[in-house]
Amino acid sequence: MALSERDRAILDFERAWRSGPGPKGSAIRQQFAISPGRYYQLLSGLLATHEADAYDPMVVRRLRRLRDRRRRARYEGRATEAHRSR
């Protein structure tokens, strides 16, 4: 499956975003005409593809690391909260 033009635009946006001014949600709405929630659903799906990794491996791997850190932090937070409630 080849990446669509929108898929490439999303990955390009993620690569360049750090230097962008203003809130990211506003930029997402303006550039893609979708809600930030929908954008992140699309981005998550892209991160699972080999095509995205081949297109921009540094961005995809950076985003995967961030996603995995957030997941781990949520999991560890829940484990700590469960331990405290005993």
**Which of 4, 13, 27, 20 minimizes the C-alpha distance to 59?**
13
Percent of the chain exceeding pLDDT 90 equals: 70
Q: Residue ranges per domain, the chain?
A: 5-84
Q: Which residues contact 12 (CB under 8 A, 6 or more apart)?
A: 56
User: Confidence class of residue 84 from pLDDT cuts 50, 70 and 90?
Assistant: low
pLDDT in tens, 11-51: 999 999 876 677 899 999 999 999 999 999 999 999 999 99
Backbone phi, psi, residue 85, to 5°: -75, -5
Determine the pLDDT at residue 13: 96
pTM score = 0.80
